[in-house]
Amino acid sequence: MDSRSLKNDNSFSAFAVAKYWLVILLAISLQVASGLSWGGSPPSGGKVVFVCDGDTIILESGERIRYLGIDAPEVAHENAKADCFGDDAKKVNSDLVLHKQVSLQYDREVIDPYGRFLAYVILPDGRCANLEMLRAGCAYIFRSSKDFRRLEEFLLLQREAIHKLKGMWGACPVKSAKTYLGNRGSFVFHRPECALGKKIGAKERVNFADRWAVLEQGYRPCRFCKP
């Protein structure tokens, strides 16, 4: 075999490999798109058999439910350590819902990009677990461009928890910065030196001088710079 033939064979092999991976990536994309375009009937409730953390549970039927409108501190996973109050928030959530029959109510968004149902989780006594987590200082408000209908109610409870130093608000020390960068699109705020914060476009960027002021407006802290 001459060098030209060998070169052509190698080129063909490279093309075949590239085509193979393109097909694989296309299949994955279609699977993800299928999940995002889900259009079935969401579950109306069920028995909670597992609590993942302070804002996510799994029902006996297998559905994963993400608490609408809140974001709890992270528990330890893979190589990442738990956030301050992450384990405490999970414990509070477990005490609220584990092994209980809950009902689910929905808002504008029903499913998130990870295939989890977004819901208000209603306890047997009629209380909303989402609100109880905020009341206890175990979660931040989670806003998006499609704000939910109960936002003002959530904001009121978060402000009360902050003023009373409930849960993480009194337990987790934070090093203050002179200013903070907020993103009007994502409702996430950052320390001024945060690489992600520096990428915020001029139209979306808003500056805050006080951490409590930005939290009271429903912005949540960046998971990387932890403002």
Catalytic residue numbers?
66, 74, 116
**Which 8-state DSSP code applies to residue 115?**
S
Check if the beta carbon of residue 46 is closer than 8 Å to that of residue 61: yes
What is the CB neighbour count within 10 angstroms for residue 145? 8
How far apart (Å, rounded) are the C-alpha atoms in residues 44 and 59? Answer: 11
Cβ-based neighbours of 171, under 8 Å, separated by 6 or more: 84, 85, 88
CA distance linking residue 128 with residue 116, whole number of Å: 18
**What's the full length of the chain, in residues?**
227
Token pair of 164 as six digits:
């009373």
Q: How far apart are CA 212 and CA 75, in angstroms?
A: 24
Angstrom distance (rounded) from CA 164 to CA 108: 31
Residue 34: name the closest of 107, 113, 109, 117 by CA: 113
**Sign of CA pseudo-dihedral 214, 219, 220, 222:** negative
